[in-house]
Structure 1
């Protein structure tokens, strides 16, 4: 694992389903969010999911359980 800055749950990005409804939001490197949203490049979440940023989470949005578990372990 690198020491790069990671995004907190309220700043995560999503993986979209086929109908453009977010399934869950993932933890990704903060510096990649804007680049992905503007350029359409893909980001890699802590859990390994690869996707382009298409939406921002709202408070209470579902967070990927694998990303949350990994993030919590990194904080210790």
Structure 2
């Protein structure tokens, strides 16, 4: 009796690539002290706009930012 090995590519099916809907993917403003905890532990964070999600990515310079988060952040900076 022989065993046959079938190669298949590694696929991470849990990755959220933002293609589940027609909305473009934005980065949100969240409390700085919660980012690392969420990335390591998988806990959810709450963005300024109210969106709740686990941190799975880091923004790169020029990444699109949630307009609601940006507007709220600007009003908080003025205070």
Normalising by structure 2, report the TM-score.
0.70
Relative contact order higher in (CA < 8 Å, ≥ 6 apart): 1
Alignment RMSD: 1.9
How many residues are treated as equivalent by the alignment? 60
Unaligned residue ranges in structure 1 (runs of 5+): 1-14
> Max radius of gyration: which structure?
2
Unaligned residue ranges in structure 2 (runs of 5+): 1-15
Higher relative strand content: 1
Q: After the TM superposition, which parts of structure 1 deviate over 3 Å for at least 4 consecutive aligned residues?
A: none
Normalising by structure 1, report the TM-score.
0.73
